[in-house]
């Protein structure tokens, strides 16, 4: 049916050119051009976009290219940059153990916190996806820590909670477990940061919840008739239909966690310690650039971060072809 | 179809395992447990801010046995400058950022949503691409630029970029919103002789108020909480914002006065908490539909 209306519509709009007299054809052409110009708006759109154009060239694309150039130089801000070729990159990969330390810490941080955070977010969203009294309260309570996100006050609180005399050890004490200073032990400090990230599972949870609400109910009804239990329904219906949302959350969380800075800075007083155990990549970059003023080297670090994030995102997009299902 | 399905599926769809009420109680218990774990740290911080130092680590109860509100007075003046200064500075930065974002992003969004100009698709794709870009990639040249402009240790590097629509996330949000406003309204205004500038001011801007409110709240909270840029661009104590003022506490009071530190941390969270309580629904839904950050 839709095909016929479409063809009718088309026929009405554009009668065969040969049939129309030349003059009327020209008028129509002129009218069409005038309508297009009205939509184009002449200079108006560029006027509206002027701030954005200045911003995107002056503060994004320009600086990005500049940062690529600087990454091949020695630059301390006060004297002009000196070209050193690939020295910064060679140094990074072959001579700088602190670089590798920060890479290790960051990979552990991203690799552990992202899956845990997403699993928790999905689990809680499933629990909330039903008519439930107090739903608004739960949703708000679980989202609040995410909103506080990278606030310094939260990081300060975390530092005290996992300190020697902190709340965490007090709770362990109720169960007769002897605690320790989790923050200043190099074996556990990164896990306190991971726990902080997992505590902030609210954002992906809210996105999952919105996705779950969109799932077609009749599919579940049909599956229930066929006798599918809750576990089968989750694995065979919910998860496949939800894959676009899962994908979206994975991308966002990976990009976000690679750039985490505030908690690592606050918990370690800006040092990344004890012995580099909380030296997240962004913190290392900050130290190189703004404590040691090795801005050429910091630019190289920034470009490596950019490429790694782009690579992770690209791999995710390619892999998504095999596990993300779209309706159409 | 759904009527029939509901009727036929009524029996088998009933939950297996524990009966209705038992199952509901189980779920509520579970959720309340999670909610407690989520909120306990925050409540602990607030209650600690009201305890004398020697009680903070010996009295884990949420209700202070000895009320010690003096922490707030002591904390307010206790880290170099008075907290009044930090709050004022934060207020200047956040208000500047909010005005900048609302103005520049709505202008760009209107252009993207309503005009067919040359290269529109490419520019739009570029705008979306900048949302993915890590801020570190542009950090050092931006710092150099602001350094050469003599803007370091002023609020300008924190405010001016917002007037240049660098928060592409909000442009995207507003484009989506403007697309839901019927084009007939613009066309009617155009028939009456309005130019695109007047249409933006008189038709689009008033109708996109919900999107502007969302932008305002999120810009406020994210700018207020943003530690990294403030740490990089502000070096003089006189220019410090609330997050920077808090870190001074960490250096100064390593171990000595936790009460005032907790008091100021709690106060620092207050603007965000108030925003959250007032705009809770909008914040959560804004997250659900657009879903960036965090």
Question: Is-contact A264 A193, C-beta < 8 A?
Answer: yes
CA distance B162 to chain A (A): 9
Same domain, residue pair A28 and A116: no
Using CB atoms, pick whichever of B140, B200, B280 lies closest to residue A70: B140
Same domain, residue pair A43 and A122: no
What residue numbers bound the domain in which A35 lies? Answer: 17-70
Asked whether the predicted pLDDT for residue A39 surpasses 70, the reply is no
Does a structural domain hold residue B60?
Answer: yes
Same domain, residue pair B174 and B91: yes
Kindly state the percentage of chain A with pLDDT values over 70.
Answer: 91
Same domain, residue pair A64 and A96: no
Which of B4, B195, B288 is the mutation pick for testing A, counting most A CBs within 10 A?
B288
Same domain, residue pair A138 and A235: yes
Distance, CA of A87 to CA of A71 (rounded, Å) = 9
Does a structural domain hold residue B43?
Answer: yes
> Which has more confidence, B161 or A178?
B161
Same domain, residue pair B245 and B148: yes
Burial status of residue B225 (CB atoms within 10 A of its CB: 0-12, 13-18, 19 or more): buried
Same domain, residue pair B240 and B189: yes
Same domain, residue pair B176 and B58: no
Distance, CA of A239 to CA of A250 (rounded, Å) = 14
Count of CB atoms situated within 10 Å of the CB of B27: 14
Same domain, residue pair A104 and A44: no
What residue numbers bound the domain in which B31 lies? Answer: 21-68
Does a structural domain hold residue A81?
Answer: no
Distance, CA of A167 to CA of A162 (rounded, Å) = 7
Question: Is-contact B171 B294, C-beta < 8 A?
Answer: no
Q: What is the CATH number of the domain that holds B211?
A: 1.10.3720.10
Burial status of residue B278 (CB atoms within 10 A of its CB: 0-12, 13-18, 19 or more): exposed
Note the helical H segments in A129-276.
135-148, 152-161, 167-174, 189-199, 202-214, 217-225, 230-233, 239-258, 262-267
Distance, CA of A226 to CA of A233 (rounded, Å) = 11
Nearest CA in chain A to B104: A51
pLDDT in tens, chain B (294 residues): 344 344 434 444 444 444 578 888 999 999 999 999 999 999 989 998 998 887 877 777 788 888 888 889 888 887 667 899 999 999 999 999 999 999 999 999 999 999 989 899 999 999 999 988 999 999 999 999 999 999 999 999 999 999 999 999 999 999 999 999 999 999 999 999 999 999 999 999 999 999 999 999 999 999 999 999 999 999 999 999 999 999 888 775 555 578 888 899 999 999 999 999 999 888 887 777 765 444
Q: List, for residues A225-263, the tens digit of each pLDDT value.
A: 888 888 898 988 899 999 999 999 999 999 999 999 999
Does a structural domain hold residue B5?
Answer: no
Same domain, residue pair B223 and B130: yes
Residues 119-178 of B with CB under 8 A from A: 120, 123, 126-127, 130, 132-145, 147, 161, 163-166, 171
Does a structural domain hold residue B102?
Answer: yes
Which tokens in the block code for residue A239?
A: 């998860």
Question: Is-contact A138 B35, C-beta < 8 A?
Answer: yes
Count of domains forming chain A: 2
Which tokens in the block code for residue B209?
A: 């108020």
Same domain, residue pair B102 and B202: yes
User: pLDDT-derived band of residue A42, with 50, 70 and 90 as boundaries?
Assistant: confident
Nearest CA in chain B to A299: B140
Distances (CA, A) of B190 to A39, B184, B185, B193, B244: 11, 10, 9, 5, 50
A217 touches chain B (CB under 8 A): yes
Does a structural domain hold residue A176?
Answer: yes
Same domain, residue pair A268 and A315: yes
Same domain, residue pair A127 and A218: yes
Count of domains forming chain B: 2
Does a structural domain hold residue A291?
Answer: yes
Q: What is the CATH number of the domain that holds A125?
A: 1.10.3720.10
Can you give the pLDDT at residue B275? Answer: 92
């Amino acid at each position: 049916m839709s095909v016929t209306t479409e063809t009718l519509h088309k026929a009405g709009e554009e009668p065969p050119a040969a049939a129309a007299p030349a003059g009327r054809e020209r008028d129509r052409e002129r009218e069409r051009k005038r309508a297009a110009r009205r939509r184009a708006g002449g200079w108006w759109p560029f006027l509206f976009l002027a701030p954005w154009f200045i911003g995107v060239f002056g503060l994004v694309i320009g600086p990005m290219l500049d940062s690529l150039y600087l990454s091949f130089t020695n630059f301390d801000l006060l004297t002009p940059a000196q070209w050193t070729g690939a020295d910064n990159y060679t140094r990074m990969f072959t001579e700088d153990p602190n670089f590798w330390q920060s890479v290790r810490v960051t990979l552990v941080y991203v690799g552990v916190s992202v899956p845990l955070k997403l699993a928790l977010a999905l689990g809680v969203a499933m629990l909330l996806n039903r008519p439930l009294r107090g739903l608004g309260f739960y949703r708000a309570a679980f989202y609040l820590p995410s909103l506080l996100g990278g606030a310094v006050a939260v990081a300060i609180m975390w530092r005290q909670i996992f300190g020697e005399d902190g709340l965490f050890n007090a709770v362990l004490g109720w169960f007769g477990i002897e605690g320790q200073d989790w923050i200043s032990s190099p074996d556990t400090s990164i896990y306190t940061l991971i726990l902080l990230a997992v505590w902030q599972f609210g954002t992906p949870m809210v996105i999952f919840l919105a996705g779950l609400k969109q799932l077609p109910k009749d599919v579940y009804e049909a599956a229930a008739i066929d006798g599918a239990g809750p576990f089968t329904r989750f694995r065979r219906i919910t998860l496949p239909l939800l894959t676009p949302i899962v994908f979206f959350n994975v991308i966002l969380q990976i990009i976000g966690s690679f750039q985490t800075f505030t908690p690592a800075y606050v918990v370690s007083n800006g040092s990344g310690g004890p012995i580099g155990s909380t030296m997240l990549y962004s913190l290392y970059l900050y130290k190189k650039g703004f404590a040691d003023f090795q801005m050429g080297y910091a630019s190289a670090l920034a470009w490596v971060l950019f490429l790694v994030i782009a690579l992770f995102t690209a791999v995710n997009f390619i892999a998504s072809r095999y596990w993300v299902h779209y309706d159409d | 179809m759904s009527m029939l399905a509901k009727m036929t599926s009524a029996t088998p769809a009933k939950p297996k395992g524990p009966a209705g009420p038992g199952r509901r109680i189980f779920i509520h218990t579970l959720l309340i447990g999670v909610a407690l774990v989520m909120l306990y740290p925050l409540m602990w911080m607030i209650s600690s801010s009201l305890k004398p130092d020697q009680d903070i680590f010996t009295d884990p109860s949420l209700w202070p046995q000895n009320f010690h509100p003096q922490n707030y007075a002591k904390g307010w003046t206790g880290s170099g400058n008075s907290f009044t200064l930090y709050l004022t500075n934060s207020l200047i930065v956040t208000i500047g950022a909010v005005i900048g974002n609302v103005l520049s992003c709505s202008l760009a969004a209107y252009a993207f949503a309503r005009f067919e100009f040359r290269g529109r698709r490419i520019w739009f794709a570029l705008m979306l691409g900048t949302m993915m870009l890590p801020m570190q990639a542009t950090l050092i040249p931006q710092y150099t630029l602001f350094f050469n402009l003599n803007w370091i240790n002023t609020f300008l590097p924190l405010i001016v970029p917002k007037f240049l629509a660098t928060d592409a996330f909000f442009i995207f949000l507003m484009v989506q919103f403007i697309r839901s406003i019927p084009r007939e309204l613009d066309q009617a205004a155009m028939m009456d002789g309005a130019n695109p500038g007047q249409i933006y001011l008189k038709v689009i801007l008033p109708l996109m108020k919900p999107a502007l409110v969302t932008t305002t709240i999120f810009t406020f909270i994210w700018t207020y909480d943003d530690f990294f840029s403030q740490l990089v661009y502000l070096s003089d104590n006189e220019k410090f914002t609330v997050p920077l003022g808090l870190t001074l506490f960490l250096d100064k009071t390593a171990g000595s006065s936790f009460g005032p530190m907790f008091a100021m941390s709690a106060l620092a969270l207050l603007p965000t908490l108030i925003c959250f309580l007032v705009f809770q629904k909008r914040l959560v839904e804004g997250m659900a539909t657009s879903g960036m950050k965090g």
